[in-house]
Amino acid sequence: MKILIVLAHPELKSMNGAMFQKAIAALTTAGHEVKVSDLYRDQFNPVSDRGNFTTTYDEAFFKQQLEEMHAVESAGFAIDIEQEQQKVEWCDLMIWQFPLWWFTVPGILKGWVDRVFAMGRFYGNSRCYETGMLRGKKALLSLTTGGAGESYLKDGLHGDLEGILKPVHRGMLEFVGFSVLSPQVVYAPVRQPEEQRETVLNDWEERLSRIFGEEPMVVGRY
């Protein structure tokens, strides 16, 4: 199978870096094809503007969706965006590896979505959710939190994690057609002793060995 892993963390020696490297090793050893987008090491520019394109639809007024539609028709995406779009189109499974920052994905990952998930390429003309252009593909969020697990329950300090992640699961991934697998969550890794972190990584490897047999979760509408 074909897997794209997108890493959004500035430190490779972090738990996110370890999860990223464990996934690459485990999936490659199992015979899968793996491509990566290491956003910080790649110095990915998250700012969405005319730099997304090599073509121009309207010089006088910038409306991103119109420029995206025009770029689809004229092969007009900037090379860095085109490369990322091709990786997403190539994969059977996309994994995002990131720390939960301010109850969502880091800005560099949100900017990646802003620039890469283009109208006319991944959605549009009433093609979204169940009819999204990327239907048939699966997506998985693998993330770390700063707080302990009990903080992310319905009656916890921050509220339930399912609700926190819904804008990403529903509004980004399902919107363009992905089926969403249950997230892989590591709570407060900074507070874990070394042996516990090793267990976490081994559990991740074990899950990845059977990942293509998992059924998607039901996110539901707002």
Active site residues: 146, 152, 158
C-alpha span between 145 and 124 (Å, rounded): 34
pLDDT value at 222 more than 70: no
217 dihedral zone (left: phi>0; alpha: psi -120 to 50; beta): beta
C-alpha span between 27 and 209 (Å, rounded): 7
- Span 74-98, mean pLDDT? 98
Which pLDDT score is estimated for 155?
Answer: 84
- Span 187-206, mean pLDDT? 90
Please, are residues 98 and 112 in contact by the beta-carbon 8 Å criterion?
A: no
99: β partners: 144
pLDDT value at 148 more than 80: no
Which residue's structure tokens are 């590896």?
97
- Span 119-123, mean pLDDT? 96
Domains and CATH numbers, the chain: 2-213 (3.40.50.360)
Rounded to two decimals, the pTM is 0.95
Instruction: Specify the DSSP class assigned to residue 210.
Output: T
C-alpha span between 38 and 55 (Å, rounded): 27
